[in-house]
Chains A and B, each alone.
Chain A
Amino acid sequence: MPDDEDREVLALLDDEYARRILIAASEEPMSVERLTECCDASPPTIYRRIDRLADQGFLDEYQELDPDGHHYKTYSTRLERVAIEIAEGSMEMDVYRRDEDPADRFTRLFEDL
């Protein structure tokens, strides 16, 4: 039987907005503003989905600084693959997450100096 965490993963993947966020943020880190545009959703909707996706470790979070000196966050997709195996009367789910891209880690380290 799927446990609560498996259910949450399935619920997220069933959610149109959560899927759009994962797809959009898989190419490059994206701000909430950009996600709002490309997912065609309101900021509150995006924020709610981001919280749930981040709780599952499906998103990486970066702190950015815009030219005015304001901090804002960008997100990039970590979820790579979900495998569901059904055999012998049970269902097993494996979630594969990507490691952070070395270029992003390098940027983070250098900017935090």
Chain B
Amino acid sequence: MTVGVGALGVGSLPVLEAAPTAFGLDEETTIFFAGLASAALGTVVAWTAYRGYARNDSRPMLFLAIGVAFLTAVPFVLAYAVDLVADVTDAIVLLVVTACHLVGLVAIVRSFRRPDSA
């Protein structure tokens, strides 16, 4: 099954037709690099937010950092890690990615709470 999971990359998608994409790479490789780019950018944003927390002692920034990490870098790494560790179905990989997204969004929603209302 081919599932649209944005640029997060899901390991071992069955490539029905190995149609070369714009860069002359197959789909799986393209997904990997797109996912890697998202994960890298997400890491920069999350790291900046974390430094904001550390420098300004701002709890909302800590939750924002966790949230961005779980929306970008964490699912990317886990999607491939789960695939390496065990031969799992795409559904399981997608479940892991979706669970990460949920954790990330909960963290970001939590970051809206102001310290004075905590």
List residues of A whose CB falls within 8 A of some B CB: 28-29, 62, 64-69, 74, 101-104, 106-107, 110-111, 113
Contacts and interface: CB of A to CB of B under 8 A. Distances in A.
A62 B61 CA distance: 15
A106 B48 CA distance: 8
14 contacts: A28-B55, A29-B55, A62-B56, A64-B56, A67-B115, A69-B116, A103-B52, A104-B52, A106-B52, A106-B61, A107-B49, A107-B52, A110-B52, A110-B60
Q: Is the interface of B mostly helix, strand, loop or mixed?
A: helix
Interface residues of B, number: 19
A65 B58 CA distance: 9
A106 B58 CA distance: 11
Contacts of A74: 56
B64 interface: yes
A102 B48 contact: yes
B114 A65 contact: yes
B108 to A, nearest CB: 10
Which one of B55, B60, B111, B116 has the highest number of Cβ atoms from chain A below 10 Å of its Cβ? B55
A106 B49 contact: yes
Interface string B98-118: 000000000000011011101
B116 A107 contact: no
Contact of A29 (B56, B61, B64): B56
Contacts of B53: 107
Q: Return the 3 tightest CB-CB contacts between A and B, nearest first.
A: A107-B52, A103-B51, A69-B116
B65 to A, nearest CB: 10
Interface in B38-83: 48-49, 51-58, 60-61, 64
Nearest to A70: B116
Nearest to A68: B116
A65 B55 contact: no
